[in-house]
Amino acid sequence: MNYKEFLNLISFIVGGTVAHFTPNTKQGILICVCAMLIWGVFMVSLRFFIDNYKIVER
């Protein structure tokens, strides 16, 4: 299991948890969307950092 699969699994769990606990109202959906956007940006930057770090390591 490589790190990308691991990160995908974590993001799936986090997304499911957030979706489960947010109330099914417009405000809840908005919070869920914002959280997913922030998480997406975080994941992309983390992957970018890890890829660059692996290139530097060689």
Per-residue confidence at 1, pLDDT binned at 50, 70, 90? low
Does the pLDDT at position 3 exceed 80? no
Mean pLDDT of 41-58: 77
pLDDT of residue 49: 83
pLDDT band for position 45 (50/70/90)?
confident
Compute the C-alpha angle 25/27/28, nearest 5°.
Answer: 65
How many angstroms separate the CA atoms of 8 and 11, rounded? 5
The pTM (predicted TM-score) of the whole model is 0.47
Report phi then psi at 15, rounded to 5.
-60, -45
